[in-house]
Amino acid sequence: MRTISSFNRDWMFFDPHLDDRDTRTIDGVPVSLPHNAVDIPLNYFDEGAWWRKFRYEKELAYRPEFNGRIVSLLFDGVMANAHVYLNGALVASHSDGYTRFEVSLNGHLREGSNQVSVVLDGSENPDIPPFGGRIDYLCYAGIYRDVWLKVVDQAAIDLVKIEPLDMLGSSRAVRAICRLRGSPERLQDAQLKVRLLDPANDEVAAGTASASTGEATVELGDLPGIELWDLDSPTLYSIECELLHPDFHDLVVERFGFREIEFSPDGFLLNGRRIKLRGLNRHQSYPYVGYAMGRRAQEKDAEILKFELGCNLVRTSHYPQSPWFLDHCDRIGLLVFEEIPGWQHVGNLDWQNRALENVASMIRRDWNHPSIVMWGVRINESADCSEFYRRTNALARSLDPTRPTGGVRNIADSEFLEDVYTMNDFVLGSEDLPGANHPRTALRTREEVTGLPHPVPYLITEFNGHMFPTKRIDSEDRQIEHVRRFLDVMNAAAGRDDVAGSIGWCMFDYNTHKDFGSGDRICHHGVLDMYRVPKFAAHAYASQMPPSAGPVMVPVTHWTRGDRSIGGVLPLWILTNCDRVELHYDGRLAVSAEPNRSMYPWLDHPPVIIDRRMLEDHDLSQWGLPWKKALLIGFTGGKACIDHMMVADPVPSNLTFEADHRVMLADEADHARIVVRVTDQVGNDLPYFHDPLSVRVRGAARLIGPDKLTFQGGVAAFWIASIGHSGGILVTVETSRLAPVAYALSALGKDVPRLQEAVADFVEGYGGQHEQ
Q: What pLDDT shows up at residue 1? A: 80
Q: What pLDDT shows up at residue 768? A: 46
The number of angstroms, rounded, from the C-alpha of 461 to the middle of its chain's C-alpha atoms is 15
Give yes or no: 163 in active site.
no
Q: How far is CA 470 from CA 483, 519, 529, 571, in A?
A: 10, 14, 10, 20
* Nearest by Cα to 621 from 570, 692, 581: 570
In order along the chain (772 residues), what is the average pLDDT of each group of 10 residues? 93 80 70 95 92 96 94 96 96 96 95 96 94 94 97 94 92 94 89 95 94 92 92 97 93 96 97 97 96 96 98 96 97 98 96 97 97 98 96 98 96 96 94 84 95 96 95 95 98 96 97 91 96 98 96 96 89 97 94 97 97 80 83 97 97 95 93 96 96 96 96 96 94 94 90 52 47 40
Measure the CA–CA gap between 103 and 85, rounded to whole angstroms. 10
Query: For residues 456-484, b (16+ Cβ closer than 10 Å) or e, as one string?
Result: bbbbbbbbbbbbbbbbbbbebeebbebbb
Give yes or no: 481 in active site.
no
- Give the list of residues 6+ apart from residue 282 with CB closer than 8 angstroms, or none: 301, 305, 314, 315, 316, 317, 321, 506, 507, 508
Please answer whether residues 703 and 673 qualify as being in contact, where contact means their C-beta atoms are separated by less than 8 angstroms: no
Please answer whether residues 606 and 664 qualify as being in contact, where contact means their C-beta atoms are separated by less than 8 angstroms: no
In DSSP terms, which residues pair with 255 in a beta bridge? 238
Query: Which amino acid is located at 656 in the chain?
Result: T
Measure the CA–CA gap between 552 and 577, rounded to whole angstroms. 6
- Active-site choice (240, 339, 381, 582): 381
* Nearest by Cα to 78 from 167, 158, 11: 11
Query: Which amino acid is located at 378 in the chain?
Result: R
Measure the CA–CA gap between 276 and 19, rounded to whole angstroms. 55
Sign of CA dihedral 541, 545, 547, 551: negative
DSSP 365: H
* Nearest by Cα to 343 from 395, 302, 283, 393: 283
Q: What pLDDT shows up at residue 286? A: 97
Please answer whether residues 395 and 352 qualify as being in contact, where contact means their C-beta atoms are separated by less than 8 angstroms: no
Q: In whole angstroms, how large is the CA radius of gyration of the chain?
A: 28
Q: What pLDDT shows up at residue 760? A: 52
Please answer whether residues 409 and 425 qualify as being in contact, where contact means their C-beta atoms are separated by less than 8 angstroms: no
- Give the list of residues 6+ apart from residue 436 with CB closer than 8 angstroms, or none: 430
* Nearest by Cα to 691 from 666, 670, 708, 669: 708
- Active-site choice (254, 357, 462, 582): 462
Q: What pLDDT shows up at residue 19? A: 65
Please answer whether residues 759 and 727 qualify as being in contact, where contact means their C-beta atoms are separated by less than 8 angstroms: yes
Q: In sequence order, what DSSP letters do the residues of 600-656 get, joined into one string?
A: -TTSSSPPEEE-GGGS-TTTT--TTSPP--EEEEEEETTEEEEEEEE-SS----EEE
91: phi then psi, degrees, rounded to nearest 5: -110, -20
* Nearest by Cα to 123 from 56, 70, 49, 30: 49
Strand, coil or helix: 352 = helix
Q: What pLDDT shows up at residue 771? A: 41
Q: What pLDDT shows up at residue 655? A: 95
Measure the CA–CA gap between 59 and 87, rounded to whole angstroms. 10
First-to-last alpha carbon distance for the chain, in angstroms, is 39
The length of the chain is 772
Q: What pLDDT shows up at residue 224? A: 82
> What kind and span of H or E run contains 84?
strand 82-86
Please answer whether residues 404 and 374 qualify as being in contact, where contact means their C-beta atoms are separated by less than 8 angstroms: yes
Q: What pLDDT shows up at residue 617? A: 66
Q: What pLDDT shows up at residue 457? A: 98
Q: In sequence order, what DSSP letters do the residues of 127-157 get, joined into one string?
A: TSTT-SS--SS----B--S-EEEEEE-SSEE
Instruction: Classify the phi-psi angles of 466: left when phi > 0, otherwise alpha if psi is within -120 to 50, otherwise beta.
Output: alpha
